């Protein structure tokens, strides 16, 4: 669904802004 895609996009942005705080929940591109 569109909401799921938006949620993933937001999570990726948060992971990029603060890597290490959400990395344990959602491993980002790093």
* Nearest one of 20, 21, 29 to 8, comparing CA atoms: 29
pLDDT value for 29: 56
CB 24 within 8 A of CB 15: no
Mean pLDDT, to the nearest integer, of 11-16? Answer: 76
pLDDT value for 12: 80
> Is residue 28's pLDDT more than 60?
no
pLDDT value for 26: 58
Phi and psi angles of residue 21, each rounded to the nearest 5 degrees, phi first = -90, -30
**Which tokens is 11 given?**
């999570």
Phi and psi angles of residue 15, each rounded to the nearest 5 degrees, phi first = -65, -35
* pLDDT mean across residues, the chain: 70
């Amino acid at each position: 669904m569109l909401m799921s895609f938006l949620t993933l996009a937001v999570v990726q942005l948060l992971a990029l802004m603060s890597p290490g705080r959400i990395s344990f929940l959602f491993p980002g591109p790093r």
